[in-house]
């Protein structure tokens, strides 16, 4: 059971480049989320999804797009990377059961130069 898998683990981008961070889960969870983690700021929610075909914005959505075409996958797209998007990105999934906790991927460390 792989849980939540994120790729790549590390990425360096130039300002203005675009890329997609991949996230896949094999637990048949309805809920999936993307967070970014910056020093001293905890985790901040970027986008989330409550099921295939349904997405919504979190706390810091600007500069990011998401889609959810299947239950398993929830990619995060950076349309035009900026240095302010240098961060560690975590994907998480959770079930819709009462009190269901989030399961996290290992993270993607992104540097924008």
Partner 1 sequence: AQSVTQPDIHITVSEGASLELRCNYSYGATPYLFWYVQSPGQGLQLLLKYFSGDTLVQGIKGFEAEFKRSQSSFNLRKPSVHWSDAAEYFCAVGGNTNAGKSTFGDGTTLTVKP
For partner 1, the binding residues (CB under 8 A) are 4, 30-31, 33, 35, 40-45, 48, 50, 58, 90, 92, 94, 96, 98-107
Dist CA 23 CA 32 (whole Å): 9
Dist CA 16 CA 47 (whole Å): 21
Nearest distance, CB of residue 35 and partner 1, angstroms:
8
Identity of the residue, 85 or 93, whose beta carbon is nearer to partner 1 in the bound complex: 93
Identity of the residue, 17 or 95, whose beta carbon is nearer to partner 1 in the bound complex: 95
Identity of the residue, 4 or 81, whose beta carbon is nearer to partner 1 in the bound complex: 4
Nearest distance, CB of residue 9 and partner 1, angstroms:
9
């Amino acid at each position: 059971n792989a849980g939540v898998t994120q790729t790549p683990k590390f990425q360096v981008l130039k300002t203005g480049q675009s890329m997609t961070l991949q996230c896949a889960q094999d637990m048949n969870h309805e809920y999936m989320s993307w967070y970014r983690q910056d020093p001293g700021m905890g985790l901040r929610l970027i986008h989330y999804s409550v099921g295939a075909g349904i997405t919504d914005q979190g706390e810091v959505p600007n500069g990011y797009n998401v889609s959810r075409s299947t239950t398993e996958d929830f990619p995060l797209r950076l349309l035009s990377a900026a240095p302010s998007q240098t961060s560690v990105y975590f994907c998480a999934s959770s079930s819709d059961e009462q009190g269901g906790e989030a399961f996290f991927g290992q993270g993607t460390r992104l540097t924008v130069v």
